[in-house]
Structure formats: C-alpha cells, structure tokens
Structure 1
Amino acid sequence: MDIDGVLLVDKPKGYTSHDMVDFVRKKFNIKKVGHCGTLDPMATGLLVLVLGKATKIQDLLMSEDKRYEGVLRLGQSTTTQDSDGKIVEEKPVPPLSLEELKQVFDRFVGDFYQIPPMISAIKSHGVPLYKLAREGKEVERKPRLVHVYSYQIKKWEPPFVDFEVFCGKGFYVRTYCYDIGQALGCGGHLFSLVRTQSGNFKLAQALPFDVLKSMLSPKELLNHVLSLPEVSRIRRQ
C-alpha cells in the first residue's frame, strides 16, 4: 500500500527522531519517510513525519515556526546544555525576583545570534558535529541568526523556571537555556522539553507512540495520516 502524507507523532523520551523515522519505515514497509525538525532524545512532543510523496515538502514543513514548553534548571552547566549531559560547573543561583528574571529573558526576544551546540546535526567539513563531540572534539561554530517571537515564564521556583517559547527555524532551546544561565551569571541547562506546535500542527493532534506500536497494518496507519490536500489546507489556516 502506498502511503503519502503527514503523520503527527507524540515522540516519547529516550528516542531520537531518526529512531521514529526508522520505526515507521520498517513496521509499515514505507520506502520514503522523513521528519521535519529534530527532537533530542531527552525531549518529547510533536514530531512531524512525512511519508512517500510528502517527503517532497519536508524542507517546507521543517522551516515553519515552532512552540515549546520547557524547564530551565539554573545553577548547573552541562556538557550538552541539557539534562542528558554531565554537570561541568555548579554555581549558586542569585535571589532573583520574577521581574529580574523577565528582564534577562527579554534580552532573547526578536532577532539575535546563537552559537550552535556541539551536540547538533550541523556539519563541519561534511561531518555532523555530534559525531565529533562523541570523539571528544570541539570545533569553532559560526553564530547563527535566530528569532524568538514571544516567551512566557509560567512558574519560577528556584532553581527551576518553567517557560514557553515561540520561535523560528534553526532555534536551539538548549542553547537558549545555556545563554540565559550565562547572562544570569550562574549557568543553566535545559532540564526538560516538550514541542507543542510546529506550523499549524499541534501536539493535541499527534498519535501517541504506544498507539503507533500497537497497529498491525499499513491500512490502520492510513486512518491517521493527513493527505497532501489536508496538509495544504491546515497550513493555510
């Protein structure tokens, strides 16, 4: 059975985006499967998969704006800028009011530059940075222009900051947390992350991975795949 369209999956913790692509390709015998925006293994939430002919619009969907809910852990810097890494530095968290915290978050709104982390799929001379990082190597990375449309601090219970961020393509939430921690003088890392939206696709529409695993046939999967006309209509909303 040929399946062409978009599948929205709620990625669980511990899986890479490639793991999800590989699972769908093998389980349902679909030759072409891709994803539209990497989620780290420690992150959960909306992963947009393109199947069959929909892989032709992969770059288009990947470039759309995204929304995340995360938790920033202040006072600890890690090797990966998130909770999967080893703690390399610990500093006391200053007694910050919510207003003082917002003043620092305000610095990272609109256009600004990020230095991509070593644990990323960006390539240096054809080799992904994460492969070099595994070998203990670090190379110079050029700053990249990114954009944050808005943010919201949902809760501030030291040393944890619950936040939401609405951002453009190429944005690293890990680096966002690292940079805010540096600006506060105490360091910080991304403790947890959920992608809640990509373009006009929302997490509430996504298929839980347990449901995906329980499916027995491509025909069953087809009931959850958005056709190309449906995808076009959703993108215009």
Structure 2
Amino acid sequence: MNGVININKPTGISSFKCVDVIKKLTHIKKVGHTGTLDPEASGVLPICIGRATKIIDFIMTNTKEYEVEFKLGIVTDTYDMEGTILRTVDPSHVSEQMILGSINKFVGEIAQVPPMYSALKHNGVRLYELARQGIEVERKERKITIYSISDISIDFPVVRMKVLCSKGTYIRSLCYDIGEDLGVGATMISLKRTANGIFNIVNSVELNHLSSENIGDYIIPMDEALNCFKKLVVDSYFEKLLINGVRIMDKRLTSEELIEGTYYRVYNKDSIFIGVGLYKDKSFKIDKLLLE
C-alpha cells in the first residue's frame, strides 16, 4: 500500500484524526496528510500512505479550491464561529455593490497575514497553542495568489463564494480581510475544500465508508497522483545512474527538450515508475526516489 487516498473529511474531526483512522485500517505507520483542514471544515484531504509520504510536499503545492460562507458584522479571535466574539458591527449600510467591489480587490497576488489560530510555528511552538494562552505574536505577511473568486451569492449578511487559490492561503484570513476592507468585520461560518490539484470532491471517498477490506480499492498510485508532471522515460543505462543519485548532464538522456526548473515523473523502459526528477542548471537528477 503505497499511494494516496482522496478523503472527503467530515466536519467535527481533525485532519490528524483522519490520518490515525487510515493508520489503523492499513496497519501502516508511515501515513500523512497533505495540508491541514480545520476540524469544522470539510472536503478534500489527500492522505499519503507508505512511500507516498515522500510526495506530500509536491501535493501540498497544488492549487486549491474552496466553497466558503462568511457573515458580515462579526469578528472573532479565530476568524470563524468557533472563537470568542471580539466585536459586532451593524453592517446594514453595506450594499451588494460594495461587497462585490471589496471581494474583487483580493483577486491576484496579495500579501496575507496568517491567523493566530493556525498550525504555523513561532519559535517551535504552534501559533494556536500560544493563542490559547492569550499570547499574540506578530506574524509576517506571506505572498499568496487568489486565482479567482466566483459563484458569489449574497443573502445578507451572509456571503457565499468559490475561491481558487495557491498553497498557503488561509480562507479564514481572506474572509476577515474582506470584512476589514468593508469596515464592518467578517467571520467565516463554513468551509469546504472541493479540490486539491487533481483530487476533487467528486471522486473522493467518505472516511466512514472505508474498511480494512476495501481500503486498497481507493488507493491512487503515486505516479497518478503526480500526473501534473510530465512523463520521462529513460533507458537502462541512465536508469542505473539516476537510481544511484548521479546528476546527469548527457543530452542523450532524452530525445525531448527538458525545461529548466521542471519536475518530471521518471519511468524505465518497462514502464516502472522510478521517482520524481528535477532538471536544473542543465542537468537532471532524481529528487525523490520512489522505487521499493
């Protein structure tokens, strides 16, 4: 069992609990998820098993899609309804046009400050652990990209929308920032991740549907999970060199023109998946060896 399961995480449990369930069903210790979903959030949570834990970082860089609801006129310390209310404001003067105008400001590359209630670390301590102690620390802005915000519907004071965004985006912070831009505050009330790269909620599996007998039916092979990378087939001579960690500058490695700074799925002539290689500085080397 070396692959990825596309879990549809239910609300009410943590991402780590989902990992624990998969560990128990597979009896495999090396299991990890590919990006935390808050306990009250639901949706796509790819979980890597066995050697596939080596590709977690690749999956985490995927573009994400979310469906979110937030409420204007209320601010909490967690930026969602699980937190303590810090202030309330009458938002009745805010028009739909103002809301749409504000949302549009956040499309593109923006600087975002992560919330205190997050799993990021400060001096080795999770921010949410500090927050629970009443400690707030300065968080550095991070560059993230909001590719699009669509399907916007307004049932005042609740706003619903679909967000396509880059790795590292906090949707809670996005809702908070929109509320601050409007001058009335906002708090997220529901969140569903509908896609993570190739992993979509349409082809996900409910956690409670899995059993030790059927779990193997839902494991996606590692190379399929990485099909965002181009395929590269090498002959037996170069295969041995790559497996031994050699950096290859020989142009005979492939008949295709390799692209600088690009990752490739590497196969041998027998279509066996070797691992992920990186072409950089005019040379090619295996970055993650994934053979048994």
Fold agreement, TM-score > 0.5: yes
**What are the equivalent positions in structure 2 for 1:115-154 lying under 5 Å apart?**
115-154=113-152
Letter in 2 for 1:232: L
Which deviations, in whole Å up to 9, do the C-alpha atoms of 1:80-114 show, x marking residues without a partner?
Answer: 00111121110011333332211101110111111
Letter in 2 for 1:130: Y
Letter in 1 for 2:15: S
Q: Which residue of structure 2 lines up, in the alignment, with residue 165 of structure 1?
A: 163
Segments of 4+ moved more than 6 angstroms? none
Question: In the alignment, is the contact (CA less than 8 A) between 1:73 and 1:189 conserved in 2?
Answer: yes
Q: Which residue of structure 1 lines up, in the alignment, with residue 79 of structure 2?
A: 81
Which deviations, in whole Å up to 9, do the C-alpha atoms of 1:170-194 show, x marking residues without a partner?
Answer: 0000000000001111101111000
Stretches of structure 1 that go unaligned for 5 or more consecutive residues are: none
Q: Distance in 2 between matches of 1:18 and 1:107?
A: 34
Q: Which residue of structure 1 lines up, in the alignment, with residue 224 of structure 2?
A: 230
Q: Which residue of structure 1 lines up, in the alignment, with residue 180 of structure 2?
A: 182
Q: For residue 234 of structure 1, report the CA deviation from its aligned partner.
A: 6.2
Which deviations, in whole Å up to 9, do the C-alpha atoms of 1:19-56 show, x marking residues without a partner?
Answer: 11111112321111111111001100000101101111
Taking only the aligned residue pairs, the percentage that are identical comes to 40
Question: Which moves more between the two structures, 144-153 or 62-71?
Answer: 144-153
Q: For residue 235 of structure 1, report the CA deviation from its aligned partner.
A: 6.0
Letter in 1 for 2:208: D
TM-score (norm 2): 0.76
SS in 1 for 2:226: helix
Question: In the alignment, is the contact (CA less than 8 A) between 1:177 and 1:188 conserved in 2?
Answer: yes
**What are the equivalent positions in structure 2 for 1:1-237 lying under 5 Å apart?**
3-212=1-210, 215=211, 217=212, 219-233=213-227
Question: In the alignment, is the contact (CA less than 8 A) between 2:98 and 2:182 conserved in 1?
Answer: no
TM-score (norm 1): 0.93
Q: Distance in 1 between matches of 2:101 and 2:141?
A: 23
Question: Which moves more between the two structures, 37-46 or 20-29?
Answer: 20-29
Structure number with higher relative contact order (C-alpha < 8 Å, ≥ 6 residues apart): 1
Letter in 2 for 1:91: V
Q: Distance in 2 between matches of 1:75 and 1:201?
A: 34
Q: For residue 230 of structure 1, report the CA deviation from its aligned partner.
A: 2.2
Question: Which moves more between the two structures, 131-140 or 178-187?
Answer: 131-140
SS in 2 for 1:82: coil
Higher relative helix content: 1
Question: Which moves more between the two structures, 90-99 or 134-143?
Answer: 90-99
SS in 2 for 1:223: helix
Larger radius of gyration: 2
Aligned residue-pair number: 231
Which deviations, in whole Å up to 9, do the C-alpha atoms of 1:37-78 show, x marking residues without a partner?
Answer: 110011000001011011110001011110000101111001
Stretches of structure 2 that go unaligned for 5 or more consecutive residues are: 231-292
